[in-house]
């Protein structure tokens, strides 16, 4: 559910960012939870008195109108909602025309900062806090060839550092040099483990007093992973948040991908894992040819109308529009789905239109399905976007496809069947 809420905020931020006003008549107001409406109203009244001194008549009226509208919106609330309140109000230029905007909503998680700005644009940068995933996880991939540190946050993954090392392998030289070679090998390995712990502290703690990640997963081949996890040189603050020490068959990027797969239960609700889980399920249905899948806007819409879709997968930047149009020939209204370039060539009279992702976000509950909005930041996400158009679904049951042309032909054959050529007896029906 959070990914849908985040998508709506992302779309709102994108829309509000494009609005520009004539003069400083666009108000951005963010009230954190626990604030008093009375104090906010008092502040707006003071601002209203200040705005009355603006020399430009047009700008003065616009600012005073925006403040008055904001006060009217506040009157709809008896108290500040649990997660605070966000209001954007003012006059903006849209397609060369002035448009009055008055948007208010409760964020899906608390905003800590109080904001009042009156400017020629809406200040949406304060909403970025809502788009950030709170949970960050650190991955340490270590083997005899080097160590790599990764950050995983939501659907984003980032390699922080890669350190390659060349360790001396065991030799078969004997005599007095054997012990010396053994000491050198041990010294190299100790230095490498020390370097690993230094990287962990630098990238997972930095200059802060607390770890920058919620948990750490240490993975690798042989015994290096255990030596890093158990090393007394590893910062005690990081030792407390070690979630798992696991064996992987590779190092660096391949080892990270393997560790990520093995960490599904640990990472649980991280968006990347949720995305990969549902997309992997879709690809599994395709691979087994179970018939419990669909893709393409026509098949998707047919299955949605039947209530057959269990998981709907939609690319967040899908180039598709839902449109309600009027067909003059049939004298009726109907719904169609067109791409941006097709929309310009539409022959019908357009009554209403909306981007498909916005449309399905507002209506998916009517179809009884779960909506999964995916990004292009993972390999399997790119595969679904390029191979299936970024719109596909997993069905509750296997589809029964009927070829209506063949069925009509069979019906025609039955019409030619003449019962008069046969004699029927009552005993035949007993």
Residues 6 or more apart in contact with residue 9 via CB below 8 angstroms:
107, 108, 127, 130, 131
Q: What's the chain's length in residues?
A: 430
In order of their start, the domains of the chain are 2-131 (3.30.960.10), 136-268 (3.30.420.60), 274-395 (3.30.1330.30)
Question: Residue 90 is encoded by which pair of tokens?
Answer: 């003012």
Residue 395 has pLDDT above 80, yes or no: yes
| Whole-angstrom distance, CA of residue 41 vs CA of residue 271 | 39
Residues 6 or more apart in contact with residue 70 via CB below 8 angstroms:
27, 29, 44, 87, 89
pTM of structure? 0.60
Q: What is the DSSP letter of 249?
A: S
Backbone angles phi, psi at 395, to 5 degrees: -95, 160
**What confidence tier does 134 reach under pLDDT thresholds 50, 70, 90?**
low
Pairing mode of beta strands 309-315, 391-395: antiparallel
Between 128 and 407, where is the model more confident? 128
- Spell out where 328-379 has E strands: 332-338, 349-355, 370-374
Identify the helix (H) or strand (E) that includes residue 410.
helix 404-415
Question: Residue 213 is encoded by which pair of tokens?
Answer: 């990640």
Q: What is the pLDDT of residues 162-185, one digit of tens each?
A: 999 888 776 555 555 777 778 888
First and final C-alpha spacing in the chain: 60
Angle, nearest 10°, between helix axes 379-388 and 271-288?
A: 50
Pairing mode of beta strands 115-119, 26-31: antiparallel
| Whole-angstrom distance, CA of residue 138 vs CA of residue 160 | 10
Q: What is the pLDDT of residues 20-66, one digit of tens each?
A: 887 788 899 999 988 888 999 999 999 999 888 888 888 888 889 99
């Amino acid at each position: 559910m959070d990914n849908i809420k985040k998508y709506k905020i992302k779309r709102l931020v994108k829309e509000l960012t494009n609005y520009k006003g004539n003069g400083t008549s666009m108000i951005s107001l963010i009230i954190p939870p626990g604030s008093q409406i009375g104090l906010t109203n008092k502040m707006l009244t003071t601002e209203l008195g200040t705005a009355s001194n603006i020399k430009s008549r047009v700008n003065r009226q616009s600012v005073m109108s925006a403040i008055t509208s904001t006060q009217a919106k506040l009157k709809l609330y008896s108290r500040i909602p649990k997660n605070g309140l966000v209001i954007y109000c003012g006059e903006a230029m849209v397609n060369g025309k002035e448009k009055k905007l008055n948007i208010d909503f409760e964020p899906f998680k608390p905003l800590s900062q109080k904001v009042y700005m009156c400017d020629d644009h809406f200040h949406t940068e304060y909403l970025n806090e809502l788009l950030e995933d709170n949970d960050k996880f650190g991955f340490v991939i270590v083997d005899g060839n080097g160590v790599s540190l990764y950050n995983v946050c939501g659907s984003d993954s980032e390699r922080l550092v890669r350190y390659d090392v060349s360790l001396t392998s065991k030799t078969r030289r004997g005599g007095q040099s054997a012990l010396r070679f053994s000491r050198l090998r041990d010294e190299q390995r100790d230095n490498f483990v020390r370097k690993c712990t230094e990287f962990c502290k630098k990238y997972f703690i930095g200059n802060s007093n607390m770890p920058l990640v919620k948990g750490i997963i240490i993975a690798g081949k042989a015994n290096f992973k255990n030596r890093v996890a158990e090393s007394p040189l590893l910062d005690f603050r990081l030792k407390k948040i070690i979630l798992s020490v696991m064996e992987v068959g590779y190092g660096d990027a391949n080892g990270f991908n393997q560790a990520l797969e093995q960490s599904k239960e640990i990472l649980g609700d991280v968006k990347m894992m949720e995305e990969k889980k549902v997309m992997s399920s879709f690809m599994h249905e395709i691979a087994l040819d179970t018939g419990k899948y669909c893709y393409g806007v026509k098949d998707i819409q047919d299955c949605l109308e039947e209530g057959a879709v269990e998981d709907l997968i939609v690319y967040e930047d899908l180039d598709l529009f839902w449109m309600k149009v009027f067909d003059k020939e049939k004298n009726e209204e109907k719904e169609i789905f067109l791409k941006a370039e097709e929309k310009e060539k539409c022959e019908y009279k357009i009554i209403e239109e909306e981007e498909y992702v916005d449309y399905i976000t507002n209506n998916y509950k009517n179809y009884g399905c779960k909506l999964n909005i995916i990004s292009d930041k993972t390999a399997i996400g790119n595969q679904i976007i390029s191979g299936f158009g970024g719109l596909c679904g997993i069905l509750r049951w296997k589809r029964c496809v009927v070829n209506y042309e063949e069925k009509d032909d069979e019906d025609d054959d039955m019409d030619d069947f003449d019962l008069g050529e046969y004699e029927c007896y009552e005993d035949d029906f007993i």
